[in-house]
Amino acid sequence: MAAIYKKEIRSLFCGLTGWLSIALILLVFGVYTAVMNLSEGYADFSLVPYNAQIIFLIAIPLITMRALAEERRQHTDQLLYSSTLSAYEIVFGKYLAIVTVIAIPLAISSVYPLILAEYGRVTLSTAFSAMFAFFMLGAALTAVGLFFSSLSSNQFVSAALCFGVLLLSYFAKDLKTLLSTNVVTALYFFSVVALAVGALARYMTRSWGIAAIVFAVLEAILIAIYLAAPGALDGSVAAALTSIAVFARLETFCNGIFDIAALLYYLSLIWLFIFFSIQAFEKRRWG
């Protein structure tokens, strides 16, 4: 794993990807600190990471798009397949390298509340709690981006898919207030989800038969629930959107609450999408 980690770090910093990602995060943190804390005079530094989270919509697709997709495009993945390293070591080594790049500007930005505390009353516990949650948000989104990088040999396709999913997650909290919560809306919504899962199964297995079975089973379960207990679908769209609102979990930390449930959510998301990435990698190794 150490060899993969070092290789990925060199790859990120020999090109523009690593430096540009660090620069973007530092720029956004610097601008929000200057505006929120210095110009407007707010003593609450947690406002900075709360507003800066939008940078992940750009930084995560940028930094993860080539992690596995580029290996596949250049056929260097064949060297990885033939190595003695396990899929876990390869995928997790790349993941840790990307997380390191995200951690560097956050470590630098963590000095800001200490400087501000010398000139005002800054609640450092809330500030560092928010910064930690911001890092965990970035780590969770990195796992999501790495998974989409494992799906295609075209890094721009991987970046576009990742951006679309992150954009949906970013606005999920607002969308749940706009969408109807009635049963019919839920039926259409989850039918689209079932279709998307079927499409993913087709991509992963390259089998239309398996994709059709997956879609048919999910749709049958959905229709059975609709016919037997339609009330169970009432409000389910809002609940589903809440479950994918990854960015919204940062808010409780910024309000001064160390949310264990949100932390476990981030860790679960990291484990789940790294697992998916490993399975996608193994599929190509033996496929």
Do residue 251 and residue 149 come from a single domain?
Answer: yes
Do residue 6 and residue 101 come from a single domain?
Answer: yes
Please give the single-letter amino acid code of residue 81.
Y
The reply to whether 177 falls in a domain is no
Do residue 43 and residue 138 come from a single domain?
Answer: yes
The reply to whether 240 falls in a domain is no
Do residue 200 and residue 87 come from a single domain?
Answer: no
Do residue 47 and residue 119 come from a single domain?
Answer: yes
| Nearest-angstrom CA–CA distance, 264 and 274 | 15
In which domain, by residue range, is 165 found? 2-170+246-286
Do residue 90 and residue 193 come from a single domain?
Answer: no
Nearest Cα neighbor of 149 from 22, 53, 63 is 63
Q: What is the pLDDT of residue 57?
A: 94
The reply to whether 229 falls in a domain is yes
Do residue 134 and residue 194 come from a single domain?
Answer: no
Do residue 143 and residue 16 come from a single domain?
Answer: yes
Distances (CA, A) of 61 to 55, 96, 156, 161, 171: 11, 16, 9, 9, 17
Instruction: Look up residue 217 and give its two tokens.
Output: 């089973």
Q: What is the pLDDT of residue 78?
A: 66
| Nearest-angstrom CA–CA distance, 100 and 93 | 11
Q: What is the pLDDT of residue 105?
A: 96
Do residue 193 and residue 149 come from a single domain?
Answer: no
- In the numeric block, the tokens 């560092």 are attached to 128
The reply to whether 101 falls in a domain is yes
Cα 140-142-144 angle, rounded to 5 deg: 75
Do residue 195 and residue 69 come from a single domain?
Answer: no
Q: Is the pTM of this model over 0.75?
A: yes
Instruction: Look up residue 74 and give its two tokens.
Output: 């250049």
The reply to whether 92 falls in a domain is yes
| Nearest-angstrom CA–CA distance, 182 and 267 | 32
Per-residue pLDDT of the chain (287 residues; tens, 9 = 90+): 788 898 889 988 888 888 999 999 999 999 999 999 888 888 889 999 999 999 999 999 999 988 887 777 776 666 666 677 788 888 999 999 999 999 999 999 999 999 998 888 888 999 999 999 999 999 999 999 999 988 877 888 888 989 999 998 999 887 777 666 678 788 888 888 889 888 877 777 777 888 888 889 998 999 898 888 877 787 788 788 888 889 999 999 998 899 999 999 999 999 999 998 888 877 766 55
The reply to whether 159 falls in a domain is yes
Structural domain count of the chain: 2
Contact 117, 28 (CB under 8 A): no
The reply to whether 260 falls in a domain is yes
Nearest Cα neighbor of 37 from 118, 142, 125, 151 is 118
Distances (CA, A) of 40 to 45, 68, 239: 12, 43, 36
The reply to whether 241 falls in a domain is no
Q: What is the pLDDT of residue 167?
A: 93
Do residue 76 and residue 121 come from a single domain?
Answer: yes
Do residue 20 and residue 126 come from a single domain?
Answer: yes
